[in-house]
Structure 1
Amino acid sequence: MSDQTSLSPLGFVNFDDIRGQNNEIELRIPFDEIKRIQRGQYVLIGSAGVERPYLGRVISGPFYTPDAVSKDSAFARTSILLANEVPFLPDFHGVCRVELLGRVSLDDYHLSGFASRPFPKTPVLPMPSDQIAQLLGLEGNMYLGHLTGYEQIRVYFNAHVKKVLPRNVGVFGTVGSGKTNTAQVLIEEAIASGWAVVVLDVEGEYISMDKPNGEAKKKPLAAAMQRFGVSPRGIENVQVFNCPGTESRCPDAREFCLRFGNLSPYDLIEIMGMSEAQETRFLELHEEATAKLMTKQGATQHKHSKWDRLAGNNNPVGLNSLPNLTLQFLIDQIDIENQDSGYGNKASWNKVLQLLVKLKRYQIFDSVDYVFNADDLLKPGQLSIFDLSDATNVRVNNIIIAQILREIFEKKIDEPDAPPTIVVIEEAHTFVSRENVKAMENIVDMLREISRRGRKRWLGLCFISQQPAHLPNEIFELCNTKVIHQTTGKRNLDALQVSAGNVNEAVWGEVPLLGQGQALIISPQFAHPVLCDMRPCSTNREYTD
């Protein structure tokens, strides 16, 4: 801010309207200064030498109004309506609205709150760009892009503070808005910072991130990469997994399965949509099968209700406990139950049997040599991608996602020194939606538990969705950092705005108008929400229809 006194004012604070907002002022700009101002610009409000000037951001305008006559006067109207016939135009000036962001301490360049407002005629100066990043908290080691309107100012996340990635991230936007590019940028930067990254990829878009960006040879992207100072390159340590019986476009993909004995029966009940009667039968079956296996192993079974388990910090039933408990073993037990049951019970058992036999056909449990092991994922700089794009059943995908989340969480609890880890969930609205949230209490409780205890152990979640209106409020509450690309539709905008906190209405009004790759970022790291031009990703992306 050393050059504050050498800058001429852009304009001056106007008198207030009594209906104005406490955190907004009206700025009047002389005609000769209009070209120096634009929406989104940061400004200092205060005379040279003032110890604590205000920091502001232009949020609307510039609008143009005549100096000495009304815009509805005959003189003004004639100059517009008969523009081809009359040579004159009334003298005019610009008008902008400026959001007050705080008061600037010139001693250590930090923002503080304010309980007053600048006086009329207070000069408004352009904010020197060399101090904006520090004032807004844009510094860090994860390069995201440029502050919109300021190509010389880079926007970063800090991978080494717990208030960003470990407190979860949400990336939202309509199709083609740039959210997948943003997800790749986050993945690239997290990997470069030594994080382990796990991607649950329901579209198969991320499976070739070991290769450089294939679009980099085309002129538009090549120019953009040069402008942002990045180059095409792949990630070195990438592994791709796919489910048995499905195909992946990654030639090196490895088939994996889950161990049924590690599965929480409550997750399975919710995801499979069992009725109350089916739930009762299934839990009876699971308890009896567990008791038989534990008796064989010489262990003692401790029965707890669902709510006892959820209230405590015990492992979910079955997790890492019964490797011999298989889906086929449960199916065999149902046959035994059917032989011993009366007619009334057989119908309920048969319904459960149909669900389990159907589940077995998907081959996701105990079916191939490689059984999912969280140890293989939690390594610094390791990117692990689960390609779920060829699965034909959303419920199967959700079982896989839930179990991978559980086992990663348990591993982080057991081994606090494991590297920082973030799990990226694509199309999150297909996992937990507003429509099914009441039937997915156990899953939502798991996500809350991961959020509550995971951040202390450097475990974060990243939810990506193009349909935020379908996400339950619980997901928005978990995401302390939100990257919002262009979003349209009142329901989607309302869902995001309710969870976005204190974002100025005029700034929020920019969201439907954002260009491809632009985003509104709301984060505890930043002093205020910022608009960012996201950098192009360096890695390749598979484009899907």
Structure 2
Amino acid sequence: MSNEKEPIGFINFDGTTGQNNEVEVRIPYKRINDVKRGQYVILESDSTNNDRVYLARIVKGPFFEPDAVGKDSAFARAAILEADTVKFRPDYHAICRAEILGEIIDRESLILTGSSNRPIPQTAVLPMTGKEIEKLLGLDGDVYFGELSGYHEVRVHFKQEDKKVFPRNLGIFGTVGSGKTNSSQVLIEELSKSGWAIVVLDVEGEYVLMDQPSKEAETKKFIKKLMERFGISPEGLKNGLNIYHPIGFECARPEKSKEFGIRFDNVEHHILGEILDLNPAQMDRFMEAYYELESEYETKSESKKKARLTMIEAVADDTEEEAITGKTLKEFIEKVKQKMKDGKSIGDKSSYAVVLRKLNKLKRSGVFDTQNHLGDYSELLKVGNVSIFDLSNSQNLYVNNIVISTLLNKLFALKVRDKDNRLPPLMIVIEEAHSFISRDRAGSMEETLDILRDISRRGRKRWLSLCFISQQPSHLPPEIYELCNTKIVHQITGGKNLDSIKGSAGGVNPALWDEIPIMGQGRCLIISPQFRHAILADVRPCSSRRGMTE
């Protein structure tokens, strides 16, 4: 594997403060231009009887040090301070730190394993070919995501048929303008081609143009060059794009978007109480009114059912799926009004008043109990179809979060009932996830978190994936990071935001975290069970059109 390669450097002796998984590399002057941070190398010794071979990555450096004199010597100091007039410079070399990623136990098959050993001094540091890197890191797959940073010839792919990747959920994090939306759009394009159904909860209206080819290359030369480099041509989605927006609200693309409403009876009442941010006393009053209405409705429904069964025309079961069935928001509001009127204490009446005020705010939105509901939601689960829920003009967070929670519940229920696996794999993309479930309110949103945990635990067996996107990861509860086995981290400059992700991603070299604040747009750190180690990647440009970029 390495006999034909010339070493770019050699392993140095360790100091007393050395680390088990890092070694110091000395680079001769003539090979300085052949080394860069992020480079993958082979560590191999043919000068001793130690025939172990290791895979490593340059994580620090290169730093430069004089060969024969100290950097603080008069000679070295004069060479620097008088560099504009004195034409001499001490001979020097480069120093790097390399992270040991594993031991290669089969040189021909390039099989990588863990190791409790370390390379000895004078071990040769050898460059690697793109094919060697791709095989050792496991970068093959059918979802083309981008390139390994520093290696234009090495493409990074995800394996969409591997249950430990997308079905175990995904998180995309980064500051504004770091490339989060491009990354998610690339995944949507690729998974749609592979037959996945995609549902996007779009709070900014950024995804509504994906059926059209990208136009950025026409006005931005650097985008055109990027597309040529990554082998991408402008192209819209081919398997169908459906856009929905809440009834009564404006939308980013009115000529294509369909209005939709929510049946109040489809909203899980515990989650509704959490979304309305009710305190314990208000939640108790909310539940009392809800259960009383539910009991009355069950009695009423049973009477209607008996009456219907006496009619010959009532044989058709589909009559139960009319536009408005079950409890309505209007009925619930009337029940709360009645309970408030009958309240026995000022405290009860005060709690009912708060509940009533928040329910009336929902009623004024006009979204509930209309003829434009989505039925059983099965139209969202078509092979390759992308469904965008445009919430960009809804300033009512209650409505937005009720839409999100209802979609999660109904789609999860459809997948659970699909015993024969007739439905396609499904990914649900939640933009600005911190506005749906936040760290500050995690203690009062246990029902919501339980549903997310349940979807995560049971959904992966049914090919249901959640994708959380956030520019404020520190505002997300820690449970969300635990649900995301694959994390795509773009530039993050805030210490709190970065620390929140670090805590959930063990085994990442600290030097890689140091890269995050200075990353350019489109570059990211990928932590995934598909890859043995975290990798740095340059994400390809999306081929479909992005909103809010032109």
Aligned position for 1:515: 520
- Choose the corresponding residue for 2:5, options 7, 11, 20: 7
Q: Report the Cα distance in structure 2 between the residues aligned to 1:506 and 1:389, rounded to whole angstroms.
A: 38
- The AA in structure 2 aligned to 1:521 is I
Aligned position for 1:268: 272
- The AA in structure 1 aligned to 2:230 is F
Q: Report the Cα distance in structure 2 between the residues aligned to 1:116 and 1:204, rounded to whole angstroms.
A: 52
Report if aligned partners of 2:45, 2:122 keep a CA contact under 8 Å in 1: no
SS of equivalent to 1:494: helix
Report if aligned partners of 2:197, 2:380 keep a CA contact under 8 Å in 1: yes
Deviation at 1:100, TM superposition (A): 0.3
Question: Could you say if the C-alpha distance between residues 150 and 280 of structure 1 is closer, same or farther in structure 2, counting changes exceeding 3 Å?
Answer: same
**How many residues are matched?**
524
- The AA in structure 1 aligned to 2:17 is R
Q: Report the Cα distance in structure 2 between the residues aligned to 1:12 and 1:167, rounded to whole angstroms.
A: 41
Aligned position for 2:189: 188
Question: Could you say if the C-alpha distance between residues 346 and 447 of structure 1 is closer, same or farther in structure 2, counting changes exceeding 3 Å?
Answer: same
Report if aligned partners of 1:244, 1:368 keep a CA contact under 8 Å in 2: no
- Choose the corresponding residue for 2:285, options 277, 281, 288: 281
Question: Could you say if the C-alpha distance between residues 517 and 339 of structure 1 is closer, same or farther in structure 2, counting changes exceeding 3 Å?
Answer: closer
Does 1:406 pair with 2:409? yes
Q: Report the Cα distance in structure 2 between the residues aligned to 1:76 and 1:13, rounded to whole angstroms.
A: 25
Aligned position for 1:220: 222
Deviation at 1:544, TM superposition (A): 7.1
Question: Could you say if the C-alpha distance between residues 299 and 287 of structure 1 is closer, same or farther in structure 2, counting changes exceeding 3 Å?
Answer: farther
Report if aligned partners of 2:44, 2:53 keep a CA contact under 8 Å in 1: yes
Aligned position for 2:358: 355
Deviation at 1:217, TM superposition (A): 1.5
Aligned position for 1:327: 329
Does 1:379 pair with 2:377? no
Q: Report the Cα distance in structure 2 between the residues aligned to 1:155 and 1:244, rounded to whole angstroms.
A: 41
- The AA in structure 1 aligned to 2:19 is Q
Query: Deviations 1:125-150 (Å, cap 9, x if unpaired)?
Result: 00122111111011100000110111
Does 1:67 pair with 2:67? yes
Deviation at 1:365, TM superposition (A): 1.4
Q: Report the Cα distance in structure 1 between the residues aligned to 2:330 and 2:99, rounded to whole angstroms.
A: 63
Query: Deviations 1:278-306 (Å, cap 9, x if unpaired)?
Result: 21122111111111121122289xxxxxx
Does 1:487 pair with 2:492? yes
Root mean square deviation of aligned Cα: 2.0
Q: Report the Cα distance in structure 2 between the residues aligned to 1:81 and 1:337, rounded to whole angstroms.
A: 84
Alignment of 1:119-158 (within 5 A): 119-158=120-159
Report if aligned partners of 2:196, 2:424 keep a CA contact under 8 Å in 1: yes
Deviation at 1:480, TM superposition (A): 0.6
Deviation at 1:369, TM superposition (A): 2.6
Aligned position for 1:313: none
Aligned position for 2:24: 26
Q: Report the Cα distance in structure 2 between the residues aligned to 1:299 and 1:190, rounded to whole angstroms.
A: 48
Deviation at 1:362, TM superposition (A): 1.1
Aligned position for 1:308: none
Q: Report the Cα distance in structure 1 between the residues aligned to 2:15 and 2:344, rounded to whole angstroms.
A: 80
Deviation at 1:341, TM superposition (A): 4.4
SS of equivalent to 2:154: strand
Report if aligned partners of 1:482, 1:522 keep a CA contact under 8 Å in 2: yes
Alignment of 1:435-450 (within 5 A): 435-450=440-455
Q: Report the Cα distance in structure 2 between the residues aligned to 1:169 and 1:456, rounded to whole angstroms.
A: 15
Q: Report the Cα distance in structure 2 between the residues aligned to 1:350 and 1:277, rounded to whole angstroms.
A: 12
Does 1:229 pair with 2:227? no
Query: Deviations 1:146-182 (Å, cap 9, x if unpaired)?
Result: 1011100100000001111101111111111111100
Alignment of 1:38-117 (within 5 A): 38-47=36-45, 52-104=52-104, 105-117=106-118
Aligned position for 1:305: none
Aligned position for 1:317: none
Q: Report the Cα distance in structure 1 between the residues aligned to 2:523 and 2:269, rounded to whole angstroms.
A: 43
- Choose the corresponding residue for 1:247, options 247, 250, 253: 250
SS of equivalent to 1:216: helix
Q: Report the Cα distance in structure 2 between the residues aligned to 1:349 and 1:542, rounded to whole angstroms.
A: 43
Question: Could you say if the C-alpha distance between residues 134 and 372 of structure 1 is closer, same or farther in structure 2, counting changes exceeding 3 Å?
Answer: farther
Report if aligned partners of 1:260, 1:323 keep a CA contact under 8 Å in 2: no
Moved more, 342-351 or 324-333: 342-351
TM-score, normalised to structure 2's length?
A: 0.92
Query: Deviations 1:312-359 (Å, cap 9, x if unpaired)?
Result: xxxxxxxx9x93211111122234435544464444433322222221
Q: Report the Cα distance in structure 2 between the residues aligned to 1:256 and 1:86, rounded to whole angstroms.
A: 76
Aligned position for 1:500: 505
Aligned position for 2:317: none
Runs of 4+ in 1 over 6 A off after TM superposition: none
SS of equivalent to 1:200: strand
TM-score, normalised to structure 1's length?
A: 0.93
Aligned position for 2:299: 295
Q: Report the Cα distance in structure 2 between the residues aligned to 1:360 and 1:135, rounded to whole angstroms.
A: 57
